[in-house]
Structure 1
Amino acid sequence: MPRPNHHHRRKPSHSKKKISICDDFPKNLPPPDTDTTSYLCVDKNGCCNFTTVQSAVDAVGNFSQRRNVIWINSGIEKVVIPKTKPNITLQRQGFETTAIAWNDTAYSANGTFYRASVQVFGSQFLAKNISFMNVAPIPKPGDVGAQAVAIRIPGDEAAFVGCGFFGAQDTLHDDRGRHYFKDCYIQGSIDFIFGNAKSLYQDCQIISMANQVSAGSKSINGAVTAKGRNSKDENSGFSFVNCSIGGTGHVWLGRAWRPYSRVIFVSTFMTDVIAPEGWNNFNDPSRDATIFYGEYNCSGPGANISKRAQYVQKLNETQVAQFINMTFIDGDQWLQYFDI
């Protein structure tokens, strides 16, 4: 029997098909435009039509009456949505997987109002399932110029659903206007929800990142809110409903950044991260008669009101009614137009 001729056997091919960085990118993004909605897509690797969030925002027509949905795969940049760009949606599939991030502080940006990673001046803004981050180092109490804002919202009628806000001091600048936060994750250490907006927070998880304190310590190293209401004529306030507060450190629910500060917590679970006195008048006793801090039906070890500051309102069901649903932010007039 003749021996096989091994010299004429075809060698196996070791070449492999080249893999593109975009092979796993969703094929249906962006979807086709409709009569009422335009879609834009951002991916820094060039897998869709824009590589930066800002370039997609800039491409939206001024004062567009259509809803402009910007689907974001990633973004490491500062973003400004100007007043001339209403009706913008920023969207992703989950706040744990996608974020817009930057690292400016008040010192590096030459002022508090310029340090935010994202600034939203345009009205009718919606963010869904995405995070906003400022990754500057966590400051110590009293550090000068260390404020590091993840987002600033001076635009009216803005809503955030399933979003994350990550930072330390002054994470979320809830500046002015009417805003709605639903199922959001908000992290920070000092005054990390601050500003003078009229906002409703529902079913949100609030996490203190303040430094751990020793057991039994009475020292305070943070605050959840710092409301900037200047007069009784300003129709603003923060209302937290069905939220939870945890994390590390020993913090106040709020401190009176301005003399008519107004914040309430309703049906919120509080761990012992909340100090027994609960609130702070910004070390100005004259504000005790003008601030409005209230709690109703809260639970958990941090919700014991027996040692609360004397000016804290122990609210009843009738008193909280005006603060706990969409009417507080006139949501019946504008939220119905959002896809939430």
Structure 2
Amino acid sequence: MVRGRYIDATYCVLIAILVVATTVSSDDITPIPADDSKVSNWFQTNVKPWRSRKGTLDPALEAAEAKSRIIIVSKDGKGEFKTVTDAINSVPLNNKQRVIIKIGPGVYTEKIQIERTKHFITFLGDPKATPTLAFGGTAHEYGTLASASVAIEPNYFMAVNIIFKNTAPGPNSKKPGAQAVALRVSGDKAAFYNCKMLGFQDTLCDDRGHHFYKNCYIEGTVDFIFGRGRSLYLESHINVVNNKGLTFITAQAKENKSENWGYSFVQCKITG
């Protein structure tokens, strides 16, 4: 059933980004505890479905969530569309309604970009048959930012149970411009739950805006989380692949103390 626990999860994740991105100003919103053992309880206490937080959230968000639209994408033709791009094209510009694009299993080889005013879009997959959004663009062909397999420009985007992948081969010293982005997030107040971002160099362009990642898996070789985002990574797994020596996971673009962006990793696992 579409309106089941997976869609309920999307509402919880979106509320999470609003909680962690907002200055603490009420008794029911408390900072993340320094004690790791208390983080899970903090999340359960503070992150509630949007319906229980009515009157405390962004009015535009509340209006958008009041009446959602569901679009089904399926490679076998049983949905409204066979491609994610066609589903996105059906969403109007200046969108003010939550649109849940439920993506069926399989690999969707598409270069996907959501236009800046198509706000309130959700990509929703099945955790037991997670869809993969893949493309093989590189910096040599498109430029680093434009190489993204999936580029998110609007605000209030969500993804639940989705794999974002750049299929380009790993960079080497003999092939310049091989950086390849799997996911670029340039809109504000975006949230990701149980997603994977797969690539090599420059896998995730956490470009700008407030972003929240929970229970995600992100892998790459070097500088594979980069940008000017102001983001929280909670209980996620960061994995370095093909590492033959010292490497850098993040390349945050912050240059001085006056800039208010940065990445926070809370209760995350780092392997390599």
Post-superposition offset of 1:41: 1.0
Mapped to 1, the partners of 2:174 and 2:220 lie a distance apart of 15
Question: Which position in structure 1 is the counterpart of 2:122?
Answer: 89
Unaligned runs of at least 5 residues, structure 2: 5-64
Name the residue aligned to 1:233.
258
Q: Does the Cα contact within 8 Å between 1:95 and 1:131 map onto a contact in 2? A: no
Structure holding more helix per residue: 2
SS for the counterpart of 1:168 is coil
Amino acid in structure 1 at the alignment position of 2:214: K
The 1:141–1:225 alpha-carbon spacing in structure 2 relative to 1, beyond 3 Å, is farther
Q: Retained in 2: the 8 A contact 1:202–1:241? A: yes
Query: Structure 1 240/95 Cα, relative in aligned 2: closer, same or farther at 3 Å?
Result: farther
Q: Mark the CA change 1:96 to 1:173 in structure 2 (over 3 Å): closer, same or farther.
A: farther
Change (3 A) 1:243 1:194: same
Q: How does 1:273-312 map to 2 (within 5 A)?
A: none
Q: Is the 8 A contact 2:171 2:200 kept in 1?
A: yes
Partners of 1:143 and 1:96 in 2: CA distance: 35
Distance 1:240 1:102, change over 3 A: same
**2:99 is aligned with 1:68:** yes
Give how far 1:47 is off: 1.5
3-state SS of 1:107 partner: helix
Change (3 A) 1:35 1:123: closer
Secondary structure (helix, strand or coil) at the match of 2:223 reads strand
1:166 to 198, 216, 220: 198
Report the 3-state secondary structure (helix = DSSP H, G, I; strand = E; otherwise coil) of the residue aligned with 1:178. Answer: strand
Tell me which residue corresponds to 1:263: none
**Does residue 1:244 correspond to 2:244, yes or no?**
no
Q: Distance in 2 between matches of 1:177 and 1:206?
A: 21
**How far apart, in 2, do the equivalents of 1:228 and 1:142 lie?**
26
The equivalent position to 2:137 in structure 1, one of 80, 85, 104, is 104
Q: Report if the CA contact (8 A) 1:100-1:131 is conserved.
A: yes
8 Å contact 2:139–2:177 — kept in the other structure? yes
CA displacement 1:175-232 (0-9 Å, x = unmatched): 0000000000001001010001000000001111124x4xxxxx42x32100111333
The whole-number CA distance in structure 1 between the counterparts of 2:96 and 2:212 is 21
**How many residues align structurally?**
210
Alpha-carbon distance between aligned partners in 2 of 1:236 and 1:38, rounded to the nearest angstrom: 33
Q: Which residue, 184, 197, 200 being the options, matches 1:152?
A: 184
CA distance in structure 2 between the aligned counterparts of 1:54 and 1:30, rounded to whole angstroms = 23
- 1:45 aligned residue: 76
CA distance in 2, matches of 1:44, 1:133: 18
Query: Which secondary structure state, in structure 2, belongs to the residue aligned with residue 191 of structure 1?
Result: coil
Task: Report % sequence identity.
Answer: 41
Q: Secondary structure at the residue paired with 1:165?
A: strand
When normalised by structure 1's length, the TM-score is: 0.59
Distance apart, 1:64 and its partner CA: 2.1
* Structure 1 alignment gaps of length 5 or more: 1-27, 214-218, 248-340
Counterpart of 1:79 in structure 2 is 112
Alpha-carbon offset, residue 45 of structure 1: 2.5
Distance 2:151 2:128 in 1: 18
User: Which has the bigger relative contact order, CA under 8 A and spacing at least 6?
Assistant: 2
Task: Give the Cα separation in 1 of the matches to 2:248 and 2:194.
Answer: 23
Q: How does 1:309-324 map to 2 (within 5 A)?
A: none
Distance in 2 separating the partners of 1:120 and 1:152: 6
Take 2:209 and 2:128, find their aligned partners in 1: how far apart are those partners? 24
> Who is 2:165 aligned against?
133
TM-fit CA distance, 1:93: 1.2
Residue 98 of structure 2 contacts residue 122 of structure 2 at CA under 8 Å; is this kept in 1?
A: yes
- Cα–Cα, structure 1 residues 36 and 101, in superposed 2: closer, same or farther, change >3 Å? same
